[in-house]
Structure 1
Amino acid sequence: MGVLKVGGVAAVVVVAAAGGWLATSTSWGLTRREPRFPQLTLDQLTPAQRPVGEKIMKVSSVGLAGPYNPMIRSPEMAQRMYDLLDYLRWHTSVPTRLNEFAILIQGRLWRSQVEWYAHYPLAIKAGLSEQVAADLKANKRPENMKPDEVAVYDFCMELSTKQAVSDETFARAKQVLGDQGVVDLTALTGTYVTVAMLLSMAEEGVPPGKDPPFKPGER
């Protein structure tokens, strides 16, 4: 999910102080009676957590919810992850449309409810076709992708599912993104696996009253 800036983005807005996001299982569709990590508010943070918590609150559309809720339990790691996400979201060499597409690919591979819920509107706002996103969500190779989207899709899928990238796929990605872009895209892909793992481990769910993108039993 990453650092989601509020200004001008018609995305998810969740006020952590009002209770945060429900902790639900993304794997089995079960609602836990007690969350693995109760939702923290800014007032509850320790002196070690407070500095990074204040930074998160300034730029995150989900407050301290989502991945930040478990992440801030390790404040030094949270600070370092915050800095990495800040680069990968706002200073990367990868165009925003392709960046958000890559995040959705990981969200789909992990069936990460929060990643998809948060990043789908950002991807559409950045110019990704709703049909491409719908095909991806349906676990199909999207039709009618633009050439640069094909390059990103093949690169991310091969790297994630085969743990390797073919020479042809690498060459196409490099032609579209350049050396720095390929490295940035790889770092983004790996980082959002980490985010998906944090969300899954902590059983962080979508906001109360919202339907999860992936229904139980869907593949």
Structure 2
Amino acid sequence: MRPPELDESALTPSQREVFARIRSGPRGLVQGPLRVWLHSPELADAAQALGAFCRYGTSLGQDLSELAIITVGAWWRAGFEWHVHAPLAIAAGIPEAAVEAIRVGHSPSLERHHALVHRATQEMMESRDWSDATYAALLAELGLAGTVELTGIIGYYGLICMTINGFRVPVPEGVPEPFPGRTPSQTTAR
């Protein structure tokens, strides 16, 4: 990991306050990119609040949210994110075979509404926009608020993945890297 390891015994008052807020929230843990963000407590506080909404507060079901999250994680090849969210996607009802297909960059076999969210997430990341057909399909399936919230999930988890990759946040010790064969600049430190 690139930044100095976060020393919980040496947190500033501002860092302690944000750390406690994260720990007492729905996550219950302060791990991965949240530990990096705590080097800037103001960023950590704002980002964790947005993240709590994106993960727990949108109108999308957990299945659609987790599907979008793992699609972003696989696109960025962010091992820590994948390690956390792939099991959550499976628990939320995304077929294990589809999760594996996403991990290795293949097209997953998914139900219509799941396929739409996966395709829209991929399309936004790859082309930085949605085609008119994709946008219309999202509005019909998710409504305007759901489409806006999906955009927020894609953007927030892009930030998460950039933090993981830029600061080389490793998967937990003893856990295999889900994206083997990454270039040296993309490998996580152990």
TM-score by length of 2: 0.91
**Pairwise mapping of residues 14-163 of structure 1 onto structure 2 (< 5 A)?**
23=1, 36-58=2-24, 59-60=26-27, 63-143=29-109, 145-163=110-128
- Do the aligned partners of residues 50 and 108 (structure 1) sit closer, same or farther apart at CA in structure 2, a change above 3 Å counting? same
Structure 2 letter corresponding to 1:175: A
Aligned length: 182
Bigger fraction of residues in helix: 2
In the TM superposition, residue 65 of structure 1 has moved relative to its aligned partner by 2.4
8 Å Cα contact 2:34/2:48 also seen in 1: no
Does the residue aligned with 2:14 lie in a helix, a strand or coil? coil
1:172 equivalent among 137, 140, 147: 137
Structure 1: where are the runs of 5+ without partners? 1-22, 24-35
**Pairwise mapping of residues 186-197 of structure 1 onto structure 2 (< 5 A)?**
186-197=151-162
Structure 2: where are the runs of 5+ without partners? 184-190
TM-score by length of 1: 0.79
8 Å Cα contact 1:42/1:54 also seen in 2: no
RMSD: 1.4
Partner of 1:211: 176
In the TM superposition, residue 217 of structure 1 has moved relative to its aligned partner by 4.9
Does the residue aligned with 1:57 lie in a helix, a strand or coil? helix
Q: Alignment identity in percent?
A: 32
